[in-house]
Structure 1
Amino acid sequence: MNLLFGRNASLQLRLVIAVVLSGILMVGDKYTSGASTIRTSLNTLVSPLFYFANIPSEFLSWSSQNLESKKQLLAENSLLKTKQLLLNEKLQQFQFLQNENSKLRALLNSTAKPETKKIVTKVLSIHSNTYSQQVVINKGFLDNVIEGQAVVDDLGIVGKVVQVGSTTSRVLLMTDNTHAIPVRVLRNNVRTVVEGVGKLNQVELPHVPHSMDIRMGDILVSSGLGDLFPEGFPVATITKIERDESKPFAKVYAEPIAQLDRIRLLVLLWSQQVKVEKKDE
């Protein structure tokens, strides 16, 4: 072993050995189930490191909150009371409309959509580059998190859970090259798909026919197809359309509605299909 990696070993030999070992690991990861177990175990082992690395940020946040002046707090309190009054007024209208909607559904013999289970989670770490865009959150299988869960923020869809540990999980952002979301155009209900291109501020609509009715500024929302992302959540806004009749499809780009470059608090959603399957088990 000392001779192999000592000074006498050539750089070419080291490169060949490294490539062979990498190939064995990739093949083993693809065709065996043990690799997934190992990744989950390693993720569980390093979970405390994410919490430890997040301590300085939490301390700075706590310090800044305690340094706010009394005047600022009073102003914010006054603003919140004003907003609360406005929201209460809207809530009264909502309750009236909800009652009217219930009566209409009763006449049509229709049922409302069931409430989706959800929990709030915090981002612990960000891993973003051209080839992989992921974040680590502080919820795991101890919180009933499962792979494939939809993740949103206060503006729209963020991505989905791809790896679960005991107390942390990895979320694949919607802008990752391997991520895709079935969507529809809010204006006319035309269905299409949004794919990531490796940029936090841009996604792409693949294979868009020149005849598709799509315009600049159109808002895309989740269509609900695939039973992963609930229907109606904001996804992206059309920002660029290139139509070249010499090519079979138009190039259409959009900007994610969720602010992926500054996410901190996220919401995990459980689909109705997942809950039904868990009950059957």
Structure 2
Amino acid sequence: MKTAGGWKLTRGRGSIRAQLPFILCMVFAAMVLVLGKVEASIFDNARAKFTDLSEPVLNAAYFPVAMVRRWVFGASEFFTVYDENVQLREEIELLRRWQDVALTLEHRLERYESLLNVVPDPKLPSVTARVIGQSNQPFSKTIILDAGTNQNVQRGQAVLDDRGLLGRVFVAGENTSWVLLLTDLNSRIPVVIRPSNRRAILSGTNSLSPTLQLDSPQPDLGAEQVHVGDRVSSTVDGGILPPDLPIGMIIGDENGWRTALFADPDLSDYVRIVDYRAAVEPPEDSKELPLSRLFPQRDDALENEANAGENEANAGANVVVGEVAPQ
């Protein structure tokens, strides 16, 4: 019995020792999970440092991958070249006519702006970067760029290619940055729908077509209905994105309104990072400003009260003078 009991005890200790690495890994994973929820900036900084160190490897490894991907897309379109050429010729003829109309309207707009002394829109500084990595995980849609804080890239800046908006920078390292795409489940940006000027929230769903959450219509503002084919662009609401960046076109399905994006991260090699900050001028020193400029309504009320008090004082003085005069 002792031998058997000793053997059982030895076997139990051996099984605990065998499971000890698994238990330690579980404890470490739980600690990392809790720490990631409490201090997310630690993992963001670690991710930025890691991508900075691995930038040369990513840059060298992504180039052949991009070439193979481009070759695969080209091979799949080889059998439709003739039909696409015919369609492109028709589109070119149509675009030439629209080009004449656009140039005429552009010159007319310039004349109107010069007559009205319109303040021109400021030119936004930008940085051109190259895509060196992409993540297509089930719950994460991001790309990696070879530009960081050394190139004046900051968190929250808009990233777009030659077709439209791709997303926003959410982690910026020294020489690399991570971009949260519009299709990501965590992406939420304010947009405006043209020509109805309806405001909405573009929400990523990890699919190619993000959803649109429209604001409630206000009849007093003349809110119009949206239609399939309306254009979706960025808005300055919230001060996070530049205005009028092209995003996509409205499409409909059984679940509501969705947006077909213009930009495709799979086909983007070089992108532009736009540095936009809402233009807010600091107010003048309140001590040097008169009361009428700081509180115009309050100043008018005080002036009216002062005038009323002065009138009452004059009326009282007249009464006193009227009573004293006969004596």
Residue 228 of structure 2 corresponds to residue 228 of structure 1: no
Check conservation: 2:155, 2:169, Cα contact below 8 A: yes
SS in 2 for 1:54: helix
Does 2:130 align with 1:112? Answer: no
- More strand by percentage: 1
SS in 1 for 2:190: strand
**Residue deviations 1:207-249, cap 9 Å, x none?**
666997122222111122122221111112121143xxxxxxx
Q: Which residues in structure 2 correspond to 1:1-281 (within 5 Å)? A: 9-10=18-19, 16-32=23-39, 34-56=42-64, 96-97=107-108, 99-106=110-117, 110-199=118-207, 201-206=208-213, 213-242=225-254, 251-273=256-278
TM-superposed CA distance for 1:26, in Å, is: 2.8
Q: What TM-score, normalized by structure 1, do the two folds share?
A: 0.71
CA 1:127–1:36: 2 relative to 1, 3 Å? closer
User: Aligned pair in 2 of structure 1 residues 29, 214: CA closer, same or farther (>3 Å)?
Assistant: same
CA drift of 1:269 comes to 0.4
Query: Which is greater in Rg?
Result: 2
**Structure 1 regions of 5+ residues with no counterpart?**
62-85, 243-249
Aligned residues: percent identity? 22
2:199 touches 2:215 (CA, 8 Å); kept in 1? Answer: no
Deviations along 1:240-261, one digit per CA (max 9) or x if unpaired, are 143xxxxxxx722221121233
Cα distance in structure 1, aligned partners of 2:137 and 2:63: 24
Larger RCO (alpha carbons 8 Å, 6+ apart): 1
Q: Letter of the aligned partner of 1:127 in structure 2? A: S
Instruction: Give 1:104 shift.
Output: 3.1
Deviations 1:146-197 (A, max 9, x none): 1111001111110011111222211111100000121111121011111110
Gaps of 5+ in 2: 1-12, 70-95, 219-223, 283-327
Name the SS of the counterpart of 2:265 in structure 1. coil
State the Cα deviation string for residues 25-71 of structure 1 (Å, max 9, x = none): 2332343454444333222222222122135358889xxxxxxxxxx
Q: Contact 1:156/1:233 (CA < 8 Å) preserved in 2?
A: yes
Q: Which structure dedicates a bigger proportion of its chain to helix? A: 2
Higher deviation after alignment, 32-41 or 225-234: 32-41
CA–CA distance in structure 1, aligned partners of residues 232 and 34 of structure 2: 38
Q: Secondary structure at the match of 1:19?
A: helix
Alpha-carbon distance in structure 2 between the residues aligned to 1:146 and 1:275: 19
Q: Secondary structure at the match of 2:264?
A: coil
| Distance in 1 between residues matched to 2:101 and 2:214, nearest whole Å | 42
Instruction: Name the amino acid aligned to 1:173.
Output: L
Matched residues, number: 239
Q: Comparing 256-265 with 115-124, which one deviates more in the overlay? A: 256-265
Kindly indicate whether the alpha-carbon contact (under 8 Å) linking 1:129 and 1:198 is maintained by their aligned counterparts in 2.
no
